[in-house]
Structure formats: C-alpha cells, structure tokens
Chains A and B, each alone.
Chain A
C-alpha cells in the first residue's frame, strides 16, 4: 500500500480570528505542475532551488498586451526591456514575437546585438553611454534616447564624425500625479527643459529627432497617469510640428505597468487590483487619439513594458530546510532560496504554494532564506500548511528583475530552465560553479598558501 503524505502535527489556539480553513491567504490547491511538467521531477533532475520559465506563459501574456494596444491604435511596437530579464532565451522569445530591444547599458546593448537584433531596432536608454557606446550606436543606426544635456552636446559633437545623422529621442520626465515622481531621468516637461532640449536638437541640425520618450515610474497602479503622460508628449510633438514642421516617427511611453504581484503594505491582492493591459491601453491610446496630433501622421506608439510581460512566466521552486521556533514563540520555516535569488521579496508579498498535497490546516509562519544575513526574509508572515524538511514550495510570478538583480552572495546561482510550448524542458542558464566565480580572481604570489 502506498504510504500517505506526512504533515507535521500542529495544534493551534483558536481565538476571535478567522477560522483556520478559509481565513487567510492560504491557497487552496498545491502547485504540483507547471505547464503540465511535475515540479518535483524538475527539482530532482535540475537541482533545488530552480528557476522555471514558461515560454507558453510569455507568449500568452505578450499576445494579450499586443491585442490590447493594436485594437486601439494603428501603429504599435513593443521593445523588450532587457533589464527586466536578459537571459538570451527569454529575450529571444520576445524578439521572435516581434519585439525590438530596449537596453540601458553597453552590456545589454551588446547582448541585443549578439542575439541578432538589428541595430535600428535597438533603443538605447539610460544615463550612462560612453562616447564609444554612442559611436557604436550611431554606426548601427540605433535609437539613442538622450537623458541629459551633457549627453546631448556630446552627441552633437560625435555627429560631425559620422556620415549618418544620429537618430535620437529625448527622455522626458513629468508630473503625472503619481508618487513618487521620477525626475532624475531625462528632461523635465513642466519647467520647459524638455522643450529646450527639443529646440537645441532642431537648431543643431546635426541630429535626427525621431521620437519622444518617457517612463513615468514603476509599478503604476493607476492607468490614468499614462493618459497624462501621453497627452504631454503629444503636446510636445504638436509644438514641434508647429514650429519646425517636423513629424516624429514615434512616441515611446516606456514601461512601469504593474504586474499581478501584491506590493508590500497593500491590503488587497495584486491579481485583483493591478490594472489590466486593456486599462493601460485605453488610457494611453485615448489620450493620443484625442490629442492635436495630425491624424495623417500619427506617430508609432512604442511600449517598453517589462515586468507586466514576464512576471507571470517565472517561478522559483525550492525546498524546505528546517522548521524553527523563534524566541517570541513565532514559527519559522527556512527554505533553500533567499533574497540572493529572490530580490523582489523586498517589494512583494510573493505568492508561495506548496508543491505537494496538504490538509486544510494551516499555520502562520515566517519564511526565511538560507543566507547568513538577518534581512534574508522571504515573507514576514505567511499562512501555509505545516511544511516539513524536504517539502517543496513554488514562488509564483518572479519572472521580472530576479534573474537580473540576483546576487552572488556566499553561494552560487542555480539552473534556470525554460519549458517550451511543446513541454520540453531546456536549461537556459547553467548553474554556476566555483570556477565561474573564482576563476576571475588572482592571488598575488606572496599571499599564496600552496
């Protein structure tokens, strides 16, 4: 006879609070499979912890976003935000779907080129672009988004050395009524700086002003902020045409769309409160269509949303290492992945689900990672079934930022696998070895021990 699943015996004092069964954020179902592939099988084959990316989920989310915008606006182009997740396999799913590349450093720029993206389909953002970077971008005909006046003047100088006129846009920051207002990137709209930058570019005659760009913030929960952003960029474009009779190729509204994760400190779940692509699309496109932009020459709308496109597709599976009682009587569970791999644990109340069957009796526990570091906490308080050593859990919606912001602190990074649309599992990033990290080091002769 097959033995039954063992759950730690627990006893819980009952009080005024909710019933243990339907009370708190415990999920009803275990998460045993991702895209029909067994989580436990993947863990035993590829090791624990393990990052799992679903190609199917990426393509599905992308299709949703594309539909939301394309049904509302004539010319739409997505550009994959490399910083959100620049594993080449992930980038290429987006490129195969038709996305351009949006990069913010030379490292990312080179990655995009190596992935086979045409130079003129790479948007080069960010405050740091060296002269060397700029020369390369001009040569490749990439779209350079200017962040500050120093860059603008450098680019005007560089332009003289090239036959091609550099294709540029300016990044504009503005008040869209959201908090905090991002004003450290680009040129400010309200104080006239953005208009001044536009004039400098037009007067210089050395640069080809092809677009306007903004990126109003991150995890924006109110779609209407984008309507304000779009209308302010449209105003700039209209003034530009009025003064110089110059039409722009595109308006780039950036990213910042919220994913369906739940931010710390919020009462309701992200899956219930985050705006859908349709909400963002409605706000942005209505604003552009109702603006004074020339209907015959509507600019292309570029979107650089990253998080909302990839978060759902990523999961992190891991294993329970131990259970503990803390000095104040609270229960604690230690798992084998920490904030080194799950950087987003600092922002989100991540959804965490056991990967095996469980009874409906749950307990409140603090979930800690394995790092020897006090801040290594995945969830301060979470309602979970009684987990025991060796049990597996899955953290959902971790596709954005974790695989770029992870840190190599005291340990190595694990395998990343992608489940393709035909349910084949591919390792898309090998687990690191000591040699990968220490191989870069060298010890001066006099310090050697052997």
Chain B
C-alpha cells in the first residue's frame, strides 16, 4: 500500500490533496494508522501495535481497519 505522493498529511490529522483540492480530517487513531502506513509498516505490524496499545479485540480491530483502508482507497489517499 502506497500513500499517494501528492498528499500532505499533518500531525494534527489534517489531510490535503492538492490534486483535487479536497481536505479531510482524521481522529487520532486514524492519524496514527496513516503515520504507520507512511513508515511502510505492514498490516500485521500495524494491527499488532494497536492490539498492544488499545483495549480492543481482534475481530473489531480487523473490521475497523479494513473499513478505514477501504475508505482511504476510495478517497485516493492510498493506492
């Protein structure tokens, strides 16, 4: 998964896509995941990290993660 090169992500969770002019806002966990994706961490690594840090079970995490990635793809933020 590669983050669209043109996309600017700030640590506040603000995303700006200069190609489309759209901007987005993310909650802290979404920002955290995107940061990890930027560092080329794998899905397994990211999920393990989150399981370690947060009070969440695997299936809820998997579903939330898939849904989030799906949205990022739809928004052309990752490809």
A426 at the interface (CB under 8 A from B): no
Are B27 and A9 interface neighbours, CB within 8 A?
yes
Interface string of B20-62 (1 = CB under 8 A from A): 0011111111101100000000000000001001111000110
* CB <8 Å contact, A388 and B64: yes
Is there contact, CB below 8 Å, between A6 and B65?
no
Neighbour of A389 across the interface among B23, B33, B60, B65, CB < 8 A: B60
Interface residues of A in 1-52 (CB under 8 A from B): 2-14, 20
Q: A342 — which chain B residues lie within 8 A by C-beta?
A: none
Cα distance, A10 to B30, chains bound together (Å): 6
Chain A 376-404 interface 0/1 with B at a Cβ cutoff of 8 Å (1 = within): 00000000001011100000000000000
Are the CB atoms of A361 and B25 closer together than 8 Å? yes
Q: How long is the Cα–Cα vector from A20 to B23 in the complex, in angstroms?
A: 13
Among A359, A389, A390, which residue has its beta carbon within 8 angstroms of that of B28? A359
Residues of A within 8 A of B61 (CB): 6
Interface: B15 (CB within 8 A): yes
Main DSSP-derived SS at the B contact region: helix
Shortest Cβ distance from residue B12 to the other chain A in the assembled complex, whole angstroms = 11
Q: Which residues of B contact A291 (CB under 8 A)?
A: none
In the complex, A5→B65 CA distance in Å? 16
With a CB–CB cut-off of 8 A, which chain A residues contact B32?
9
Q: A20-B25, A361-B26, A386-B27 are in contact. Are A9 and B54 (CB under 8 A)?
A: no
Q: Give the contacting residue for B55; candidates A6, A20, A361, A386; CB below 8 A.
A: A6
CA distance A10 to B33 in the complex (A): 10
How would you classify the secondary structure of chain A's contact residues: helix, strand, loop or mixed? loop
* Residue among A4, A8, A390 with max Cβ neighbours from chain B (10 Å): A8
Given the complex, which residues of B lie within 8 Å of A6, measured CB to CB? 29, 50, 54-56, 60-61, 64
Kindly list chain B residues whose C-beta atoms are within 8 Å of the C-beta of A20: 25
Query: Which of B54, B67, B68 contacts A5, CB < 8 Å?
Result: B54
Rounded to whole Å, the gap between the CB of A23 and the closest CB of chain B is: 11
A288 CB, nearest partner CB in chain B, Å: 56
Residues on A with C-beta less than 8 A from B53 are 3-4
Which of chain B's residues have a CB closer than 8 A to the CB of A386?
Answer: 27
Are B55 and A9 interface neighbours, CB within 8 A?
no
Assess the B64–A8 pair: CB atoms within 8 A: yes
Residues of A within 8 A of B27 (CB): 7, 9-10, 359, 361, 386
Query: CB of B71 within 8 A of chain A?
Result: yes
Is A135 an interface position by the 8 A CB rule?
Answer: no
B8 contacts which chain A residues (CB < 8 A)? none
Bitwise interface map of A from 103 to 147 toward B, beta carbon under 8 Å scored 1, else 0:
000000000000000000000000000000000000000000000
B1 part of interface (Cβ distance < 8 Å)? no
**Known contacts A4-B55, A6-B54, A6-B56: A11-B75 contact under CB 8 Å:** yes
Instruction: Give me the interface of A with B, judged by CB distance under 8 Å.
Output: 2-14, 20, 323, 325, 359, 361, 386, 388-390
The 10 closest A-B pairs by CB, nearest first: A361-B27, A9-B30, A6-B56, A6-B54, A3-B55, A9-B68, A9-B29, A8-B64, A11-B26, A14-B23
